[in-house]
Amino acid sequence: MRVCSSCKKTIAPDEKAVSFKCPNCGTVIIWRCYRCRTMGIPYKCPNCGFEGP
């Protein structure tokens, strides 16, 4: 199940979401829902604590 790293809501399969490895540690996959991406809501890596928009 895909969950947004910012708002913690479940991401629907047809939603325009994005996933990427943490830019700092590269070990965690960060998921961002469409709403959080477009609004620039911050996310935080649970592994290293890196925060990004």
Where does the pLDDT of residue 53 fall: very low under 50, low under 70, confident under 90, or very high at 90 and above? Answer: confident
Q: Give a yes or no: residue 4 inside a domain.
A: yes
Domain assignment of residue 31, yes or no: yes
pLDDT of residue 40: 96
| Rounded-to-integer distance, Cα 5 and Cα 2, Å | 9
Hey, which bits of 1-53 come out as E strands?
18-21, 29-32, 43-44, 51-52
Other C-beta atoms lying within 10 Å of the C-beta of residue 17: 17
Which domain, by its residues, includes 39?
A: 1-44
User: Which tens digit of pLDDT belongs to each residue from 40-52?
Assistant: 999 999 999 999 9
Return the pLDDT at 27: 97
Q: Tens digits of per-residue pLDDT, 17-27?
A: 999 999 999 99
Query: Mean pLDDT of all residues in the chain?
Result: 96
If one counts the domains in the chain, the total is: 1
Rounded CA-CA distance 50/12 in Å is 25
Phi/psi at 42 (5° precision): -65, 155
